[in-house]
Amino acid sequence: MKTIIPTIALWLCFTSVYGQTATTDTIYVYETVIVYDTIFIRDTIRAKRVSDIHLANSRRIDINFFASPTKKTLLPTATFSENSIILHESNKYNKQKNLKIMKFDLTNLLSAVILTAQSLAGISAQETKQAGELATFPMQFSIVYPMTTQGDKTVDYRYNLSFNMLSGKVGAVTGVEFGGLFNQVEHDVTGVQFGGLANRANELLGVQFGGLGNAAKTVTGAQFGGLGNISKDVTGAQFGGIFNIAESINGVQFGGITNINKEVSGASFAGIINLTGTLQGVQFGLVNIIDTIESGVSIGLINIVNKNFYNEWSLTFADYLNIELSYKMGTQKLYTIFTAGANFMEDNLWIYGFGFGNRTELSKRFDFQPEIVSYQYFPYNFRNVQNVSANHLKLGFVYKMNGRLGITVAPSVYHFYNHYSKHSDYLKVSPFSPFYKHENADRIHSIGAGISFGVILR
């Protein structure tokens, strides 16, 4: 079992045959490394080794696998390039058995994670159940199923009020259900469930409140889980103290740490990380990892998009920042900017900054690149550090020399703020005087314009 489970999970990460086919008589996988850019997934089944892993460039890796336990036959070289692994043909193999190497897909990895969570919650194997000819009864009371007012027959009834001292199991609820620990409904809940620890239902048309969590195959309404919520299809809202997991969400999600979804149509907010297959809407998280953005944007400190990922390096020179190196990542519609540099005006200053930007094609040779960046300035010796910042709105234009290299010019308007003390001086950051300047006891606000020139590399 220890061998089978990781192998199954590994193959769930792949979809549709890609590239060529290698041939050999028997294939034994000892240690498998799937390489996706900088993401490594290692599945150790039997301890041997993977040899000759070397980085050809940032998007290509060659891998050699040992296959035969007795002869240690080396499989043909596998080349990783642009999200795929291709086994090259070799004339060493005469017996014809096909080994198919498949394309890595983040969506299928999410499917495996979601399926595992649903299995643990007890909803993955359920088909949508029909309530059928359930008898209706006003209420039931149970201590622990089947210690109930109707024994083990409660699964054959629909109740308007269900009260479970510790836990209970009923057919359906149209009304309200209370559980000291756990509520389980075989068919549908139309109304409200309150569970001291957890609630589980096949179909929810209403609201679930679970001290630890809630699970439902289909949700039309809302789930509130102290730790988290697990569902298949959600139309409405999920609020999880730590996590929310769903195949599809059409609405809004709030996860204290993470949200894991195959499809999102709406908004997803996570305290730390969002993992999404397909996004149609908006995501907010410290880290967002997405397979495909069909429409909408991803907003976070780090945004990684499998398809149509945008990344750019730029080296710029400006009046307000004499030399600046920036890295930009995300999508062309919205990317995150990390920047650092130095200023050698009257005061030698170090600068770091953070911001967001967009790049829109105007023609074959020109792009429009508006950006918002906030800079913080520090003395070169980091003594008498004070709060000095400049927030720039840049209206950049890019001349594309080829597919990767470009020249940029970006006029900007800025708001400059300096909060200084009697032990520090006003820090001058630009030779150009601002349009407007306001000064009081220990603060200076000014508004002005600047310009930068640079080169960019994609």
Q: Which of the pair, 202 or 95, is modelled with greater confidence?
A: 202
Residue 213 pLDDT? 94
Question: What predicted TM-score, i.e. pTM, was given to this entire model?
Answer: 0.69
The answer to whether 262 and 277 are in contact (CB under 8 A) is yes
Residue 425 pLDDT? 55
The H or E element containing residue 8 is: helix 4-11
Quote the tokens at residue 41. Answer: 């997934």
Share of the chain above pLDDT 90, in %: 53
Across the strands, what pairs with 375?
353, 390
Residue 253 pLDDT? 96
The answer to whether 190 and 207 are in contact (CB under 8 A) is no
The answer to whether 248 and 263 are in contact (CB under 8 A) is yes
Asked whether the predicted pLDDT for residue 196 surpasses 90, the reply is yes
Residue 58 phi/psi, 5-degree rounding, is -65, -15
Cβ within 8 Å of residue 116, ≥6 positions away = none
Mean pLDDT of 131-138: 81
Q: Length of the chain in residues, anyone?
A: 458
Asked whether the predicted pLDDT for residue 436 surpasses 50, the reply is yes
Q: Where are the domains of the chain?
A: 4-104, 113-305, 310-457
Q: Is 11 left (phi over 0), alpha (psi -120 to 50) or beta?
A: alpha
Quote the tokens at residue 413. Answer: 């308007």
Asked whether the predicted pLDDT for residue 247 surpasses 80, the reply is yes
The answer to whether 227 and 212 are in contact (CB under 8 A) is yes
Lowest mean pLDDT, pick from 67-81, 376-390, 427-441: 67-81
**Max Cα separation, the chain?**
86
Spatial strand order of the sheet with 50-57 comes to: 50-57, 60-65, 78-81, 84-87
How would CATH label the architecture of 310-457? Beta Barrel (2.40)
443-454 b/e (C-beta count within 10 Å ≥ 16 → b) = ebebebebebeb
The H or E element containing residue 3 is: none
Q: Which of the pair, 184 or 94, is modelled with greater confidence?
A: 184
Report helix, strand or coil for 383: coil
